[in-house]
Amino acid sequence: MGIPMTNAFRFVTTFAIGLIWFGAPAQAADIQRIISPGGIEIWYVQEPSLPIIAVELAFENAGNSSLPEGKQGLANMISTLLDEGAGDLESLAFQRRMDELSISLRSSDNADTFRIRLRTLSDNRDGAFEMLGLALTAPRFDADPVERMRAGILSDLNRRINDPDYLLGVAWLETAYPGHVYGRPPRGTIEIIEGFTQEDLHDFVATRFTKDRLKIGAVGDVDGAEIARLVDAALGGLPATGPVFEVTRVDPIVGPNFQVIRQDIPQSSIIWGTTGIMREDPDYYAGVVMNTVLGGASFISRMWQSVREARGLAYSVGTGITPLGQTSYFTGGVATRNDQVAEAYAIIEGEMQRMAEEGISDQELADAKSYSIGNFALGLDTNSSLARVLVGLQISELGIDYIDKRVGYINAVTKDDVLRVARRIFWGDEEATSGTLRMVTTVVGDPVGFDDKN
Partner 1 sequence: MNTPLRIGLAATAALILSALPTWAADFTVETAVLDNGLQVVVVPDHRAPLITQAVYYKAGAADEPAGKGGLAHFLEHMMFQGTTNVPGEDYRNTIARHGGEENAFTAQDMTGYWQTVAVEAMEIVMELEADRMANLRILPEEFESERQVIKEERRSRYESDPRGPFSEHMSAAVFMAHPYRLPVIGWMHEIESHTVQDAIDWYDKYYVPNNAILVIAGDTILAEVLPLAEKYYGVIPRGADVVRSRPQEPPQLAERRVILYDERVREPSFSRSYVTNSRTTRDGLAPALSLLSQILSGSTGRLYQALVVDQGIATSAGAFYSGGTMDQTQFGMWIAPARGADLVAMEAALDVEIARVVADGITQEELDLARNGTLSGLVFSRDSVTRLGRRVGAGLAVGLTIEEIVGWSDEISAVTVADVNAAVATVFNRAHSATGLMLPPPDKE
Identify residues 204-263 at the interface with partner 1 (CB under 8 A).
none
- Considering only CA atoms, which of 116, 149, 152, 147 is closest in space to residue 134? 116
For residue 162, give Cα distances in angstroms to 159, 165, 323: 6, 9, 28
Query: Which of residues 33, 106, 144, 202 is near partner 1 by CB under 8 A?
Result: 144
Determine the Cα–Cα distance for residues 77 and 82; give it in Å rounded to an integer.
9
Question: Contacts with partner 1 in 379-398 (CB under 8 A)?
Answer: 380-384
Q: Considering beta carbons, is residue 206 or 342 the nearer one to partner 1?
A: 342
Q: Which residues of 385-406 are buried (b: 16+ CB within 10 A; e: fewer)?
A: bbbbbbbbbbbbebeeebbeeb
10 near partner 1, judged by CB under 8 A? no
Longest dimension (CA), the chain: 67
Q: What amino acid occupies position 271?
A: I
Tally the C-alpha atoms within 13 A of residue 305's C-alpha that lie toward its C-beta. 11
Per-residue string for binding with partner 1, 146-175, x by CB under 8 A? --x--xx-xx--xx-xxxx-----------
267 near partner 1, judged by CB under 8 A? yes
Query: Which of residues 308, 423, 424, 438 is near partner 1 by CB under 8 A?
Result: 308
Q: Considering beta carbons, is residue 124 or 331 the nearer one to partner 1?
A: 124
Give 452's contacts (C-beta < 8 A, 6+ positions apart).
Answer: none
For residue 94, give Cα distances in angstroms to 66, 127, 133, 229, 393: 29, 12, 12, 23, 32
Query: Which of residues 121, 253, 254, 407 is near partner 1 by CB under 8 A?
Result: 121
Q: Minimum distance from CB of 17 to partner 1 (Å)? A: 7
Question: Contacts with partner 1 in 346-375 (CB under 8 A)?
Answer: 367, 370-375
Query: Which of residues 41, 90, 123, 339 is near partner 1 by CB under 8 A?
Result: 123
Give the strand pairing for 41-46 and 317-323: unpaired
Determine the Cα–Cα distance for residues 352 and 428; give it in Å rounded to an integer.
13
Query: Which of residues 51, 70, 195, 399 is near partner 1 by CB under 8 A?
Result: 51
The size of the interface with partner 1 (CB under 8 A), counted in residues, is: 74
Query: Which of residues 88, 100, 203, 223 is near partner 1 by CB under 8 A?
Result: 100
Q: Minimum distance from CB of 333 to partner 1 (Å)? A: 11
Determine the Cα–Cα distance for residues 379 and 20; give it in Å rounded to an integer.
8
- Choices 35-43, 245-253, 282-290, 330-338; region in contact with partner 1 by CB under 8 A: 330-338
Q: Considering beta carbons, is residue 97 or 354 the nearer one to partner 1?
A: 97
